[in-house]
Amino acid sequence: MFPCNLDQPLVARRLAGMNISLEIPRNELDGSFTSASVAETIRVVVVEEEGKIYRDNAESMQKKVFGCKIISMLMVLSSS
């Protein structure tokens, strides 16, 4: 996850806790990211074996949310 502002860091941390995504490490003082940390996190999730859990869980979640029109519509309505 690439959280930028508002509630995004909280959502990113929650999804990371559910093993759906991997949060990009940030500087604890100012919250900034480095290009190397962004690239490394993407590589881990997309290419590495240790990222398989994130890919599998994201796929499963996608099927649950977007495979059901009712849940999908509720997600859209709750975000507005």
Query: Domains of the chain: which residue ranges?
Result: 8-78
Q: What is the pTM of this model?
A: 0.65
pLDDT-derived band at 80 (thresholds 50, 70, 90) equals low
Which has more pLDDT, 61 or 72? 61
6-25: b or e for each residue (b if 16 or more CB lie within 10 Å)?
Answer: eeeeeebeebbeeebbbbbe
pLDDT on residue 26: 84
**Span 11-55, pLDDT tens digits:** 888 888 888 888 888 888 888 889 999 999 999 999 999 999 999
Nearest to 24 by CA among 12, 9, 10, 41: 41
CA distances from 22 to 18, 43, 54, 78, 80 (A): 10, 11, 7, 24, 25
